[in-house]
Copies of this chain bind each other. A is one copy, B any other.
Amino acid sequence: MPTTDGAATSEPRWLDAGERAAWLSLAGVITLLPGALDAQLQRDAGLSHFEYMVLAMLSERPDRTARMSELAALANGSLSRLSHVARRLEDQGYLVREACADDRRATNAVLTDAGWDKVVATAPGHVAAVRRLVFDALGPEQAEQLRHIGGRILDRVDPGGSCPT
């Protein structure tokens, strides 16, 4: 590692011991938790976590409809990632894409009845996994802390609240 040589302004601000421990635990979570969530959903429903998020976010919208750009932001993906996944979900009959009536340049995604049924059937197993992997390990105060910490990090990672393409 580079040594401090008095040129303090150019010296990187290395993590202190507490920050380093916090970083290693967060790095572990972001490396391993996605795979654990995907594993349960793939095994029990044949869906990735991102695919489930797309369907679940649509299921909560009025008329089960959202613009593709909004849906990408809700599911934390880029528009190009969503377009790819929407094609797959459309092939399976869970959603359809159609031109937006208010703005012909925009595309809406609409959850089908089969997509709704898929969310209803998949949600209990998914929420059980989220409880087992996350909330069963945390008290209510830690859940509240996690909400604030996650929100602050998200503001940095995705400042506009909608992902870059």
Binding site for B on A (CB under 8 A): 1-2, 12-15, 18-19, 21-23, 25-34, 36, 49-50, 53, 75-77, 120, 123-124, 127-128, 130-138, 140, 142-158, 163
Residues of B within 8 A of A18 (CB): 140, 143-144, 147
Q: A2-B120, A152-B137 are in contact. Are A147 and B21 (CB under 8 A)?
A: yes
Determine whether the beta carbon of B146 is less than 8 Å from that of A31.
Answer: no
Determine whether the beta carbon of A34 is less than 8 Å from that of B30.
Answer: yes
Determine whether the beta carbon of B13 is less than 8 Å from that of A76.
Answer: no
Q: Which of B13, B22, B31, B148 contacts A144, CB < 8 Å?
A: B22
Determine whether the beta carbon of A76 is less than 8 Å from that of B156.
Answer: no
A34 to B18, CA, bound (A): 21
Q: List 26 A-B contacts (CB under 8 A).
A: A13-B131, A14-B127, A15-B127, A18-B140, A18-B147, A19-B143, A22-B135, A22-B144, A22-B150, A23-B130, A28-B76, A28-B150, A28-B158, A30-B30, A31-B53, A31-B76, A31-B77, A32-B76, A32-B158, A33-B153, A34-B34, A133-B157, A136-B156, A138-B152, A142-B149, A149-B149
